[in-house]
Structure 1
């Protein structure tokens, strides 16, 4: 049969349509739904494979307490800074337009509250989408802009498995180019450690038809927002601060977003720029911190002026900033109130309610509520490091040295409010003996021919032994009314404590000379000795007046 020309054209059209239809059936479309940026918690969705190594520490930290650290440091003799560090949480319900604009917590540029689990990217932010096939060959490299509709989904082969990587630096003008090479080997080497680099990875096998890729990106670096509130004290007129360690040029795996190495350490850390929100409050724009989180960071306030009082070189160590987590550091400057523990008046002196202790995590001096307290070398403001006793000679703290025990001074003066307590002298410590002798005036009995003292074999059920002054029997519920001196023992130039639960040894300062006072092992023993340079004893402060 001979076909007419129009018949040939029709047959060709049918064949072309058939081929075109088969080609479309072998492909499928992929729609990208950009949901936002996930907050780093231990309950985070595991659908994203990004930064597994980076977020291990984050999960452990955020699953503990909302407030990760708490400290009080002196500002002057009347005021102090109470600080807390907490992960920044989105609100429990989505913010409407009104509450969003009134939110006073500074955010990193380019993100906004997006409900209880994430922040959303603002319109105009650019991000890059990459797709790799099962040979780790890049088949898609496209830049998108948040808020601008793309012309349809990506056309890829159905039934095939792809690995999708998305990333951004929250910029409206640029997004870094993808590094070359196989996905498992490619790494960024020029990402600025001051940018908010976010990342997402997902491996997906595509089905025929329409597929969706739901994307919740994750921060790779940590962020810190610092707030200062001095409403109890006065006006803030200047704040200059920085935080470190901070690195400027990290090497980042394209595959999972983990930081392979931290390079180019900033010599002075990262400057924090504060924004004056009122005369008594100040906060900073969210500061990007690039470090590995395994070591602690230090916030240094180079200068802060409040009520015409300027304080310089305030150091706040021990901040644990896990990569990928947003933190709020709150500094409340408050006036001090009298110690909440009862002070003990005996004879002509007022004694602290417990032995002196120092908290290295919060850099604060306090009084022990039970137990022995710390042990102190003469003329050093930080106690002996008993946690180093197992280390060899030269590494332990058997003998004092400034890098472990601080500079010279009276550690009692460091208790807040500053300089309201001090080391006792011989007369003041001997006062606890003379005020409780047998037949002393006002002796409460029952045996007026014995000292008004009582040895407790198990003080507050702590297993500690010591002596009450001013009572001859166990005072029970009235224990807080009486001075109790623990038999805490002594470190006498060795790694082992002597006289534990047998004798108490306490530091005295007479002018520029230091002594130790022995109390116990019985109600009659009180002796004074010269205090050696390498001997560490307890301290019971007296009220300065």
Structure 2
């Protein structure tokens, strides 16, 4: 019995000593950590517009002799089309600056700086941050959604130790590739990536306390944005775009996390190429911009773009092929196709309504309106009218305005382009005191007098660069283009609140009559020129 009690006391004594030693050791470790712990937090995340260090071309496992130099000059040339039309092709690289210089800062240090032109990552875009120690051994990884960094817990690390930080994303709010063989940086790889892979790596020594990492990711694959644009010489709009393809592209690529030669291994060529995705055209647009098309390729000077079909102003063009596209991995490019029609004026007649607000006493009452050159007085709420004749104009009618204040309507062969009477005016101004309400805006939603766009009467054009242009196509479609600045580019407009322009009847071989009407409302201005047009053979 005594022996049993003795053994029990001995066991309890040993257990107490063990607990004491463990507690003492734990306290010692905590004390050391408190004097040297580091916390890593993500301070900023940006995306460089294009790779600018000429490294990505050297990361491919299958180098292409056709690879092109970065920052290539823009290429512009013209392709003749059928039916007296042509397309101007402009292929250019987005401008870049010098290589990104992101760094780490302590919470009390100076702000990280960068010389590269950068864009902010999209809200809630997912990205992963992976940490390796100086020997290349995996330490930890953490997933982020952009915009939530400030509320995301930091990563604990050992102070005064050197780590390699790798961040990557495929520019998606839902997808984030997993790492294969993550245990060592030499073996870690992303398999079969077929999306817009963005990548960042930096080796840094962390300090005690909070450290903030400035991440600047770079695109590892090429991107091409394709724009179809209609020159002012083309009436109507783009109403359909068929299947459009960019070649060549690989189906996917395997990408090692460790930066260096042979980082990217391209898998088999995709036989169908990369699909160019255009937005919905609605009732028709004059400028259509695609989503960026990802080209997973080691670099080429023989790329092709095939626009399967495009319908413009009721005419369909098929298999428009752009050859010898030159791209380098990691760079972003713009391909702009501007469609033009070769025309000549059949008739041309100027219009010069420019009348100041005038007050007159008539029959003992004060009247407000305008006074014409011949002395005729026209009161407010009455209408001015100007007629144009356009015979044998097989491509429609163009009315260019260089100055407007502040509304009008047009009647083509007895049909108003808006509403059903002259009192229905296309109004560019909202003025509660006059009871006028703006009923037209730019297709992007901006309006004259708002969004930093001047009022329509404060925008001045010229004969070559009008401030406003009304196009009547040979099929009777009506389009209004306007500039947001004096002498600026013309941009498509649309009626507000679901209103639409009327389709009119245009006689390609017979006579046409166009009447311009404007309601007198104080100062009254319409200065411009109307002209009937016909197609002619193109001269390249």
Q: State the TM-score, normalizing by the size of structure 1.
A: 0.49
**Structure that is richer in strand per residue:** 2
TM-score normalised by structure 2 residue count: 0.50
Structure with the greater relative contact order (CA < 8 A, sep ≥ 6): 1 or 2? 2
